[in-house]
């Protein structure tokens, strides 16, 4: 014998109505959707008929229980349709049929009505089918405990559907006229059928204004004002500019507004999107290509699929093609501006250069046009590559921040302008430049090859320093650091410590091993194996530095050793390198030794 589960309908309704919807306000959206679908359905049969929607907030029976009446003059329902649409919950096959088979409907009929239980314990639907010969008005009365009744009523009404809600205690704010007007406008401002709100005092048209992309303008200036005004009303922001958007795939129209402030790459790029003129989401992501984060959009799509949660568009090939076409609208806008309004483009780039760099990095043609405009950071200030190449034949660049910091100062004092290519897209752009303009000379510089260009000592000078070199090597060899003396600028720098990125990694391992237990130390050693052998620091003393000159000639061996230690540690600190405990010890030894020596001299002097 088979039995069926007994389901507590009230509980299920509560669960569905309170949990499938993100907020109670959506009951207005669901009602609007049902109304629009009913109108669309009737238009298929009577193309000439004019659909309309009305919302009425009659004077309440009593102050505590306001009522809301929602009417459409759409296709209406017959009694059989009532049973199948309004009485079966969670019948997914029906939903799928509706979604796939009849793509011009937005909603899911009966399901949407459930959302009304969040604000009302009773839903009354009065409906009359618009079909020929259907003159019967039917009433469906549903309760949040899961029961409903259906009966014919004598009530005269035109074809269409009327939904009556009675406010449930605690939901009063959703029945306030201002709130209803706000929500109806929020979800339905683009709908092509008039929506009227009637209160005991007045009747107003909610969706009076057409979006600018549906309007015709006599002059460019009027168009501009209308768009920017629309942007201000929609987002409460004064935008720099606007770009009309259009995509044949997805049947998309809309506008992108240029943001008046810079955006970071990682921030969420959200847009206001409508599906068949009904608001789908205020913060839909993935509408535009990744690089296009300098705009905020409003678009309506008639031919894209929503996700199951109806919060954004479904990621499929249609959406991907749409994204490309919208990206092309923005790209054309920029290219056109480069030709016709360079000063405006300059202002735009000052704010949004990262976005434009991102596009240039993936689009060769665009890169060719824009490369002259894009700013790069160098150790001599921000400049474009064109400006750079006017002054310098070869483009020198450092590929990471660590290297750039190590060399910026020294390079500048040698009039070597170095691009810091550590920022997002910069390295990619430089490499692309190299590829597209093979005649341009590019050279990556790091601290090592920078010091290779330092001037060599003469043989005599080298002879002079023989003893010093021996002492320095003795101090530094145990620290995995090689030594050399060259001449370089600036003369106030006694020594330059340079290290490859492998060395930086080794150093981080070494300092970490000072605190980890033996197990983790062994893991770190294994990890480090690959780079251990070749990694070396390099200390280059500056022959032109007066202090170095004195140190190199010191007769007192101990004093010289201490001074070398201190110069070494100081050059590490200048490069922001963390000190290992060995180096810390060196510094302490060096400093204390020198202090002691100084004190001895003073004492000697006093004596």
Partner 1 sequence: MSASFEIERQVKELMSRSLQLPEGDEKIMILEEAVRLADTLDDVKLQYDAREAFIEAAYFGGIPEKALVAYAWCLAQYDRDPAGFWEWRILWRYKWMVNVICDFPQISREQIYEMLDDMERRFRSAGRGLKAIYKYRYRTERFFGNREEALRFYQLSEQSRRDDLTDCVACETDGKVAHQLYLGNDELALRLAEQLIRGRDKCRSVPHRTYSRLLVPLLRMGQREKAWDFHVRGYYMIARDRVMLDYLCDHFVFLSLYGDLESAARIFEKHYRWTEEVTNTYERFLFYRAAWLFLEKAEEAGMNALELQLPHSFPLYEAARSYDTARLKEWFKARAQQMAARFDARNGTDFFTKRLLDMQAIKELQQVSV
DSSP β-bridge partners for residue 139: 126, 151
What is the Cα 500 distance to its own chain's centre? 33
Residue 380 vs 424, nearer CB to partner 1? 424
Selected from 23, 154, 202, 517, the binder of partner 1 by CB under 8 A is 517
Is there a contact between 600 and 512 (Cβ–Cβ < 8 Å)? Answer: no
The footprint of partner 1 on residues 378-407 (CB under 8 A) is: 400-402
- Rounded to whole angstroms, the Cα distance separating 388 from 395 reads 8
Is 519 a binder of partner 1 (CB under 8 A)? yes
Selected from 186, 578, 591, 594, the binder of partner 1 by CB under 8 A is 578
Give the x-and-dash track for 31-60 against partner 1 (CB under 8 A): ------------------------------
Q: Which residue has the tokens 């107003």?
A: 204
Selected from 81, 223, 285, 290, the binder of partner 1 by CB under 8 A is 290
Is 526 a binder of partner 1 (CB under 8 A)? yes
Q: Secondary structure of 429-487 in the HEC alphabet?
A: HHHHHHHHCCCCEEEECCHHHHHHCCECCCHHHHHHCHHHHHHHHHHHHHHCEEEEEEE
What is the Cα 526 distance to its own chain's centre? 38
Residue 145 vs 290, nearer CB to partner 1? 290
Is there a contact between 7 and 13 (Cβ–Cβ < 8 Å)? Answer: no
Is 524 a binder of partner 1 (CB under 8 A)? yes
Least spacing, CB of residue 400 vs partner 1, in Å: 6
Is 508 a binder of partner 1 (CB under 8 A)? yes
- Rounded to whole angstroms, the Cα distance separating 382 from 379 reads 8
Least spacing, CB of residue 432 vs partner 1, in Å: 10
Is 320 a binder of partner 1 (CB under 8 A)? yes
DSSP β-bridge partners for residue 381: 378, 379
Selected from 98, 351, 371, 424, the binder of partner 1 by CB under 8 A is 424
- Rounded to whole angstroms, the Cα distance separating 183 from 18 reads 19
- Rounded to whole angstroms, the Cα distance separating 324 from 319 reads 9
Least spacing, CB of residue 49 vs partner 1, in Å: 38
DSSP codes, 282-337: EEE-SSS-TT--SEEEEEEESS-PBPTTSSSB--SHHHHHHHHHHHHHHHHHHHHH
Least spacing, CB of residue 317 vs partner 1, in Å: 6
Q: Which stretch binds partner 1 (CB under 8 A): 42-50, 221-229, 453-461, 571-579?
A: 571-579
Least spacing, CB of residue 368 vs partner 1, in Å: 16
Longest dimension (CA), the chain: 127
Q: Which residue has the tokens 């001599």?
A: 380
Q: Which stretch binds partner 1 (CB under 8 A): 8-16, 122-130, 420-428, 590-598?
A: 420-428
Q: Measure Cα distances from 316 to 113, 178, 287, 302, 350 in Å.
A: 29, 39, 12, 15, 35
Least spacing, CB of residue 314 vs partner 1, in Å: 9
DSSP β-bridge partners for residue 56: 69, 198
Residue 408 vs 524, nearer CB to partner 1? 524
Q: What are phi and psi of 604, to 5 degrees?
A: -60, -40
Least spacing, CB of residue 465 vs partner 1, in Å: 31
Is 423 a binder of partner 1 (CB under 8 A)? yes
Least spacing, CB of residue 268 vs partner 1, in Å: 11
Least spacing, CB of residue 519 vs partner 1, in Å: 6
The footprint of partner 1 on residues 437-456 (CB under 8 A) is: 438
DSSP β-bridge partners for residue 315: none
Q: For strands 148-153 and 137-143, give the pairing.
A: antiparallel
Is 523 a binder of partner 1 (CB under 8 A)? yes
Is omega for the bond preceding 490 within 30 degrees of 0, making it cis?
yes
The footprint of partner 1 on residues 164-183 (CB under 8 A) is: none
Is 309 a binder of partner 1 (CB under 8 A)? yes
Selected from 203, 462, 522, 588, the binder of partner 1 by CB under 8 A is 522
Is 530 a binder of partner 1 (CB under 8 A)? yes
**Terminal-to-terminal C-alpha distance of the chain:** 116
Selected from 87, 205, 527, 595, the binder of partner 1 by CB under 8 A is 527
Selected from 1, 59, 219, 308, the binder of partner 1 by CB under 8 A is 308
Is 512 a binder of partner 1 (CB under 8 A)? yes
Positions touching partner 1 (CB under 8 A) are 264-267, 290, 308-309, 315-317, 320, 400-402, 422-424, 431, 434, 438, 505, 508-509, 511-512, 515-517, 519-520, 522-524, 526-527, 529-530, 573, 576-578
């Amino acid at each position: 014998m088979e039995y069926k589960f007994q389901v507590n309908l009230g509980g299920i309704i509560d669960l569905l109505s309170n949990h499938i919807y993100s907020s109670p306000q959506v009951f207005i959206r669901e009602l609007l959707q049902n109304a629009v679908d009913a109108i669309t359905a009737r238009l298929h049969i009577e193309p000439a008929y004019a659909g309309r929607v009305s919302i009425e907030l009659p004077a309440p029976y009593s102050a505590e229980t306001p009522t809301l009446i929602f009417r459409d003059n759409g296709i209406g329902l017959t009694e059989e349709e009532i049973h199948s649409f309004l009485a079966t919950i969670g019948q997914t096959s029906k939903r799928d049929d509706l979604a796939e088979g009849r793509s011009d409907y937005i909603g899911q009929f009966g399901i949407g009505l459930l959302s009304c239980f969040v604000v009302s314990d009773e839903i009354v639907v009065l409906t009359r089918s618009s079909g020929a010969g259907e003159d019967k008005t039917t009433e469906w009365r549903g309760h949040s405990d899961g029961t409903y009744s259906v009966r014919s009523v004598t009530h005269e009404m035109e074809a269409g559907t009327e939904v009556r809600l009675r406010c449930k205690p605690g939901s009063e704010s959703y029945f306030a006229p201002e709130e209803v007007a706000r929500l109806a406008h929020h979800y339905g401002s683009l709908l092509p059928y008039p929506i009227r709100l009637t209160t005991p005092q007045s009747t107003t048209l909610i969706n009076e204004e057409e979006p600018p992309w549906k309007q015709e303008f006599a002059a460019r200036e009027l168009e501009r004002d209308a768009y920017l005004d629309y942007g201000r009303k929609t987002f409460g922001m004064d935008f720099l500019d606007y770009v009309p958007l259009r995509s044949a795939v997805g049947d998309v129209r809309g506008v992108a507004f240029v943001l008046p402030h810079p955006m970071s790459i990682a921030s969420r790029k959200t847009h206001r999107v409508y599906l068949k003129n009904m608001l789908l989401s205020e913060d839909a992501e993935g509408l535009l290509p990744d690089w296009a984060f300098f705009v905020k959009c409003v678009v309506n799509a008639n031919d894209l699929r929503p996700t199951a949660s109806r919060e954004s568009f479904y990621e499929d090939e249609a959406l991907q093609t749409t994204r490309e076409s919208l990206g092309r609208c923005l790209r054309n806008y920029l290219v056109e501006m480069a030709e016709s309004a360079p000063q405006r483009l300059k202002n735009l780039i000052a704010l949004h250069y990262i976005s434009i760099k991102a596009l240039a990095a993936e689009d060769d043609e665009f890169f060719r046009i824009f490369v002259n405009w894009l700013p790069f950071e160098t150790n001599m200030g921000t400049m474009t590559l064109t400006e750079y190449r006017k002054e310098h034949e070869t483009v020198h660049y450092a590929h990471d921040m660590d290297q750039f910091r190590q060399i910026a100062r020294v390079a500048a004092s040698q009039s070597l302008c170095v691009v810091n290519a550590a920022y997002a897209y910069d390295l990619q752009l430089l490499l692309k430049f190299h590829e597209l303009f093979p005649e341009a000379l590019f050279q990556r510089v790091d601290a090592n090859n920078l010091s290779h260009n330092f001037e060599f000592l003469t043989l005599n000078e080298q002879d002079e320093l023989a003893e010093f070199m021996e002492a320095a090597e003795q101090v530094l060899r145990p620290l995995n650091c090689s030594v050399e003396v060259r001449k370089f600028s600036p003369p106030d720098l006694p020594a330059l410590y340079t290290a490859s990125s492998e060395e930086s990694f080794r150093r981080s391992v070494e300092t970490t091993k000072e605190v980890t237990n033996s197990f983790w130390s062994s893991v770190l050693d294994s990890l480090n194996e690959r780079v251990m052998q070749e990694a070396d620091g390099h200390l280059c003393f500056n022959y032109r530095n007066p202090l170095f000159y004195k140190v190199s000639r010191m007769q007192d061996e101990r004093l010289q050793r201490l001074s070398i230690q201190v110069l070494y540690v100081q050059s590490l600190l200048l490069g922001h390198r963390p000190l290992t405990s060995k180096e810390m010890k060196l510094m302490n030894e060096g400093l204390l030794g020198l202090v002691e020596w100084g004190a001895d001299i003073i004492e000697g002097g006093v004596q």
